[in-house]
């Protein structure tokens, strides 16, 4: 199982150097990137899963491959979802790649599809939650010290930090359960604002950081 502390959870990491130059490049530098985009964008539908599972698949890409380029990890993740649902196997993909490169290798038989079955509450991710929200604008909250296995949208750099709720966002499908096909489990969602010194210590650049956090990630500040 992947943990939250993966390579994808980059907020605050050091050592990546200078930011790239701002250029007005087109979305796809080469034709294969466009095709990669479409395969990834359709992967949830083809594999009978959802976008949370797609993000989780990207998070499970080994760090070396993750850092080898955006469309590289995107494509590997799309394939992972299709493998998980029995649409393709890695052996098939590699055999087909070899054949496309002119090697005469045998092709293994296709797998039997086994898509996950998770009831959907409708299109998109916004939902209503009947339970009243636990927090209100102005409330002080602390981010729970969670260390979940699997997918989460709680970045590690805000874990155990305290901030202020500045907005209630629409309730939405809970990514942590939806990515595992354990149910949409809709949750309230809050914009929480942190002082930079709370996150990075007394010598931090002065600024405020806002981030959107689902209710299960939060507890009242003691």
Partner 1 sequence: MTSASEHLDPALRVEALASLLTERGLIDETTVENFIKTYEQSVGPMNGAKVVARAWTDPEYRAWLLADGTAAIAELGFKGPQGEHIVVLENTPTLHHVVVCTLCSCYPWPVLGLPPSWYKDPAYRSRVVREPRQVLREFGLDLDDSVEIRVHDSSSEVRYMVLPERPAGTEGATEEELAALVTRDAMVGVAKVAAA
Maximum C-alpha span of the chain: 66
Written as one string, the DSSP assignment of 20-73 is: PPP----S-SSHHHHHHHHHHHHHHHHHT--HHHHHHHHHTS-HHHHTT-HHHH
115 binds partner 1 (CB under 8 A): no
Q: Which stretch binds partner 1 (CB under 8 A): 114-122, 129-137, 147-155, 176-184?
A: 147-155
155 belongs to the binding site for partner 1 (CB under 8 A): yes
Residue 209, classed as helix, strand or coil, is strand
Size, binding site for partner 1 by CB under 8 A: 90
Q: How far is the CB of 213 from partner 1 (least distance, A)?
A: 7
Site for partner 1 in 4-43 (CB under 8 A): 8-14, 16-28, 30, 32, 34-39, 41-42
Q: Three-state DSSP class for 175?
A: helix
Nearer to partner 1, 1 or 19 (CB): 19
Q: Rounded to the nearest whole angstrom, what is the least distance from the CB of residue 130 to partner 1 in the complex?
A: 19
Question: For partner 1, which residue of 49, 79, 85, 164 counts as binding (CB under 8 A)?
Answer: 79
Distance CA 52, CA 50 (A): 5
Contact 138, 165 (CB under 8 A): yes
Which of 56-64, 128-136, 141-149, 177-185 is the region at the interface with partner 1 (rule: CB under 8 A)? 56-64
């Amino acid at each position: 199982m992947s943990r939250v502390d993966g390579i994808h959870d980059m907020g605050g990491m050091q050592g990546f150097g200078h930011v790239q130059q701002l250029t007005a490049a087109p979305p796809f530098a080469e034709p294969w990137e466009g095709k990669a985009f479409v395969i990834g964008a359709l992967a949830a539908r083809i594999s009978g899963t959802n976008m949370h599972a797609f993000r989780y698949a990207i998070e499970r890409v080994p760090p070396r491959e993750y850092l080898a380029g955006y469309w590289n990890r995107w494509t590997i993740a799309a394939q992972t979802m299709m493998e998980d649902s029995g649409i393709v196997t890695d052996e098939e993909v590699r055999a087909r790649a070899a054949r496309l490169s002119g090697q005469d290798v045998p092709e293994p038989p296709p797998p039997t599809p086994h898509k996950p079955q998770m009831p959907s509450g409708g299109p998109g991710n916004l939902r209503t939650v009947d339970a009243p929200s636990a927090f209100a604008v102005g409330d002080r909250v602390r981010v729970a010290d969670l260390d979940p296995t699997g997918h989460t949208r709680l970045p590690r750099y805000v874990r155990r930090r305290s901030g202020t709720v500045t907005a209630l966002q629409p309730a939405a499908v809970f990514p942590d359960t939806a990515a595992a096909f354990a149910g949409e489990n809709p949750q309230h969602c809050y914009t929480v604002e942190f002082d930079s010194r709370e996150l990075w210590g007394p010598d931090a650049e002065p600024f405020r950081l806002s981030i959107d956090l689902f209710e299960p990630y939060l507890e009242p500040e003691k």
